[in-house]
A = this chain, B = another copy of it.
Amino acid sequence: MNVKTPEVAVIGGGVIGCSIAYHLASEGVSVTLLEKDRIGEKASSAAAGMLGAQVESGFPGPMVDLCLASREMFPSLARELKEKTGLDIEWDGTGLLRLAGDPAEGEELRERGAWQREQGETAEWWDPKTLLRREPALGEGVAGGLFIPGDSQVSAPRLVQALARGASLTGAELLEGAEVRRFRCEGGRIRELETSAGRIHPEKVVFAAGAWSGILAEAIGLRLPVVPVKGESLALRWHRPLFRRTLFAKGCYLVPKADGRVIVGATELPGDTSPGVSAKAVHGLLREAVRLVPGLGEADWERAWSGLRPGTPDGLPYLGRAPEHENLWVACGHFRNGILLSAATGRGLADLLLGRPVPRLNPFSPGRVLAGERR
């Protein structure tokens, strides 16, 4: 059997792996991407596509900075992908409303808004009256909301598809049904991947396998703790839009999509790797959705699904060179921010692999696990 010898082997065909492959291929690097099932079919297409860099950020730090930087990359990424592939990722900049369920939460959100404005971001507090004037479909009992015009959205399945197509059109090789069976390491380097699609001798390797990255790392003795956190979501279809902005509250969020669907998300079940969606998840999400926007009861049911988000103990992704293998890089553990961070991760990892320093990724070095354990 012939042996493939790409410059880079990317393991994992979700939005992160596809973005890295896309950015590398765009620079002329030869890339082979290995996906054990089908590209983009797991967590990446289970996502609602929110680019919520501000909505959940409560305190300053490198994570917020990375999220904001990644969010800003989407409009031009959208244009670039449309041009290269003909696919539109449906970027939508209408903004997001973070809703307060009661006055105490309202107070908290107002403070968060003030702090964000200090950081130079836009965030506008709307009292209940203003809120209902601008989003009249909201139910009673909403205690105001923080309007974040900068938090935008894309179609998550179309994003993965466009990145994969873009990578492929610029020369990357994307293999589906290609599972790594064994690594051959030598002298601190990964020399060979034995896969179900044959042997691969890459110069460099990237682990971008989302919730499966921990198992992968295990095989070469690398500690990379990743906790799968199951998320269940559902989609409704309305005939006439009831609201235009993404609505985000405790208990559920509602993301209106261009095609007339509203995505309602999401549960969080750490450690649950079962497939499927429970009846109580559907029940709970619908109850919250209809409480928030009563008119949604008239929308048509479409479907429910689940995915496994890759959580990490400290809540930060692993991005960067692996501590003990000199030709291995890691990009995983994005938890709920995989779509949002896919732009900065793809760009950043491509730069790292090409030997360019990316200072803003330093805080996310996978070496921190080892360092933490040694302390």
Contacts and interface: CB of A to CB of B under 8 A. Distances in A.
Copies of this chain held together in the complex: 4
A175 B273 CA distance: 10
Contact of A228 (B175, B196, B258): B196
Interface stretch (A80-88, A105-113, A129-137, A345-353): A80-88
A241 B300 contact: no
Interface string A167-186: 01100001111110110000
Contact of A1 (B82, B86, B271): B271
Interface stretch (A245-253, A291-299, A334-342): A291-299
A289 B279 contact: yes
A50 to B, nearest CB: 15
A37 interface: yes
Contacts of A289: 279
Nearest to A94: B86
Nearest to A282: B301
A161 interface: yes
A218 B197 CA distance: 17
Interface string A264-304: 00000001011111111111001101100000111111011
B273 A218 contact: no
A280 B302 CA distance: 12
A290 B301 contact: no
Contacts of A176: 274-276
Given A90-B86, A258-B87, A283 B275 contact: no
A176 B87 CA distance: 29
A58 to B, nearest CB: 29
Contacts of A38: 275
Contacts of A92: 86
B298 A177 contact: no
B278 A299 contact: yes
Nearest to A277: B301
Nearest to A91: B86
A281 B301 contact: yes
Given A197-B274, A296-B279, A298-B279, A215 B304 contact: no
Interface in A136-171: 161, 165, 168-169
Contacts of A260: 161, 165, 168
A279 B252 CA distance: 15
Given A88-B88, A90-B86, A258-B86, A297 B283 contact: yes
Interface string A253-264: 000001110000
B290 A280 contact: yes
Nearest to A308: B177
Most B-side CB within 10 Å, residue of A174, A282, A299: A282
Given A169-B241, A176-B276, A279-B299, 5 more contacts: A161-B260, A177-B273, A278-B298, A279-B298, A283-B290
Top 6 nearest A-B pairs (CB, nearest first) are A86-B258, A280-B297, A88-B88, A196-B273, A276-B300, A283-B286
